[in-house]
Structure 1
Amino acid sequence: MERPVGVTILTFVAVLLAFLNGIAMLRFLGFLPFLGPVNIRIFNLWYALLYGLLAYIWAWVAQMLWQVDPQAWLFLAVISVFNLCLAFVVLITGGSWYDVNLSVIVNALVLIYIMLPGVRETFGRD
């Protein structure tokens, strides 16, 4: 199957999100400080595991998108929503908007883009 330009862009966005989740994982392991009013280092193994899993999943989604796998569309929608929910949990448990803003914006744009009719047709979703 031929890969349209939009799907190629989605693949690179998935790679970007894998990188962002990897950075978040390192922050929750205490290797990188959270930026904001006070530079602090937080260790939270649960959040680190979740973000590490999300980084792996985003890399897997990027591979599926690169191959234009029909299941990639549904999996991309589910993981985008899950990532938005995780960012919301970080916000309500004491995180700042600065820590999750790029992830929220990119995930929301991905979710909006994959719901467009042309993208749905590319993956065989009507």
Structure 2
Amino acid sequence: MERPIGVTILAFVAIVLAFLNAIVMLRFLGFLPFLGVIEGRIFSLWYALLYGLLAYIWAWLAQMLWQVDKEAWMFLAVITIFNLCIDFVLLVTGGTWYDVNLSVIVNALVLIYIMLPGVRGAFRTD
């Protein structure tokens, strides 16, 4: 199957989001205390597991997008919304906008982009 350029861009964005979630996972494990506005080490095993799982899912989704699987479109929509919900929970429970700003912006742009008719047509979900 031929892969449109938009789907290729989505695959690369999924790789970037996997990388961002891996960085957040390392921050919650206390390995990267110098990133962010909070000084010192923060340890939260629950958030580390959650963001580690999200990093794995984004990497898996990038592979699905690269192959233009029909199920990848729906899975991308669900994971993007789930990631936005996790970022919102992090904001409500004491995180700062600096911690999740890039993730929220990229996820919102991906969600808007995948709802366009041309992208849906590439996955034959019309």
With the length of structure 1 as denominator, give the TM-score of the two structures. Answer: 0.97
**CA distance in 1 between partners of 2:62 and 2:43 (Å):** 29
Alignment of 1:85 onto 2:63:
no
Does residue 120 (structure 1) correspond to residue 123 (structure 2)? The answer is no
For residues 71 and 103 of structure 2, what CA distance do their matches in structure 1 show?
Answer: 23
In 1, the alpha carbon distance for the partners of 2:125 and 2:114 equals: 10
2:50 aligned with 1:50: yes
What code does the residue aligned with 2:36 have?
Answer: L
Total equivalences in the alignment: 125
**TM-fit CA distance, 1:40:** 2.8
Residue 36 of structure 2: aligned partner:
35
**1:64: which partner in 2?**
64
* Offset from partner CA, 1:85-114 (integer Å, 9 cap, x none): 000000000000000000000000000000
What is aligned with 1:101?
101
The aligned residue for residue 14 of structure 1 is 14
Q: Cα offset for 1:39?
A: 1.5
Structure 1 stretches (4+) deviating beyond 4 angstroms?
A: none
Question: Partner of 2:110 in structure 1?
Answer: 110
- What is the RMSD computed on CA atoms of the aligned residues? 0.8
Query: What 5-or-longer segments of structure 1 have no aligned partner?
Result: none
Q: Any unmatched runs of 5+ in structure 2?
A: none
